Structure 1
């Protein structure tokens, strides 16, 4: 069953789109992360224009993250004070990311920068995650007890000025690294069309020592607000959000996430992190190959400005 995507100007099989959304939703539920960093590359590899893929995925990320954020809010798993600082700085970063997106699109360099961004970002995160998971698995096999990092152990970041007390997280830290993390996630997330949760959660845990009982909920709250603003900016500025595409992805994602969450209960944390790292590295390698291999179509059509 073919459907026409008006913004992408492309006819795609409906079951294919729902299937992609379901597959990414399953992986999101399995690994406990947002699927934007997987969904955007899959759409690009499937022939959807890069600009439409990046912009449309923002709506799907908002929908998939909202239910999770509400669940954590009802259980008291969100530090609203910390989330407020992250949201404010990430929204500022989102404005910068959308502006950079428009400039790159006008210069005809958007596809190249998006590919390089995914190669660097996913490659770095994938290597770090794979090293940590392999190290944990080896220690467990040797009988060494793997302990979580101490949530309240101070680092050099805790000595910075402008300290603020976050009661929910039981932290008294400088807001400067909090704002810097939010600004970076907002810029990268809006430019690449990813929620940024797979970067935000490790940053909050390992850099700021945010307790595990509030870190995921706080990250989800930040993702919902940031991606909602990003979706509006893309809709108004470049009109590149394809509602039909986003809706099909949402339908599949909601269903797939339920099965993924159930399957994830049968795997250990180290195994999940290892599998996710391999998946992230596979996507990074795929983007890297697209940069060095000769494309099937060596010519492209682009609108260029004409001097009269």
Structure 2
């Protein structure tokens, strides 16, 4: 039963996460915490769920980044710039996890997920801001359409720090914040934003999971159970992103995030 559980969770989380640049941790953490007792036969401490999720994200992000790289959609220059602060931020967030009690974590994580659900809903309606940035880039897709986008160093470094801290603290990739910011604020083409986000997630997950491992918050057996299908899902999500529209899958994510967010907020705020 536990093998089937790991297979399904790893595949679904990685496929959805890679498809929209989230990483998949937003699905793995609640699955381990809420479904673990039923399918694995044991309760999973929140800190362990976070650390294990971040370790699995390494495999998801690596698989999807390689696929996106072959499609020439990863902006490595801005990705490395984001990582300057995202990496240390992930380590700081990972270290902070041990000081957050279970109820506070549930409440905070629920609010965070609710915010992400709202961002995903608004993503179809918000238009990119017309800001003149100091660094301008261009991208031409497979259909010959050229996109103009840009950024400045200081805003990117600040955003990288915030995304990294959230990634380490909650065991998620941080792409739920990074992708909308890249699309709306910096005018990145969605496919470039998704691909570059997965590259940043790969780097931040490496650093964040190292901290969790040092704190004894990574279950290696769970990582081994989740990693194989996470690799497949990372590749599958990147392939789907290049071939199909993601509106239907995005609505599945929106509804899922909303329901899990409300559940975590309720338990964190009202249950003893």
Shorter-chain TM-score category? 0.7 to 0.9
Deviations 1:223-276 (A, max 9, x none): 00000011111112x121111111101123344567777888997543333222
Pick from 201, 204, 210 the counterpart of residue 223 of structure 1: 201
Q: Tell me if structure 1 keeps the 8 A contact 2:106–2:264.
A: yes
Q: Tell me if structure 1 keeps the 8 A contact 2:15–2:24.
A: no
Segments of 5+ residues of structure 2 without an aligned counterpart are: 37-42, 140-146
Q: Tell me if structure 1 keeps the 8 A contact 2:111–2:265.
A: no
Pick from 119, 124, 129 the counterpart of residue 110 of structure 2: 119
**2:173 match:** 195
Shift of 1:14: 3.0
Segments of 5+ residues of structure 1 without an aligned counterpart are: 2-12, 136-147, 296-308
Pick from 275, 291, 296 the counterpart of residue 252 of structure 2: 275
- State the structure with more CA Rg: 1
TM-score, scaled to structure 2: 0.82
Across the two proteins, how many residue pairs are aligned to each other?
Answer: 258
Work out the CA distance in 1 between the residues paired with 2:56 and 2:265: 26
Cα RMSD for the two superposed structures: 2.9
Q: Tell me if structure 1 keeps the 8 A contact 2:7–2:226.
A: yes
Pick from 45, 48, 51 the counterpart of residue 44 of structure 2: 48
Matches for 1:205-220 after TM superposition, within 5 Å = 205-220=183-198
- Secondary structure at the aligned position of 1:280 is classed as helix
Shift of 1:98: 2.3
Deviations 1:87-110 (A, max 9, x none): 1110121232123223x1xxxx43
Matches for 1:218-297 after TM superposition, within 5 Å = 218-236=196-214, 238-255=215-232, 268-294=245-271
TM-score, scaled to structure 1: 0.73
More helix by share: 2
Work out the CA distance in 1 between the residues paired with 2:33 and 2:8: 15
The question of 1:86 aligning with 2:64 is answered: no
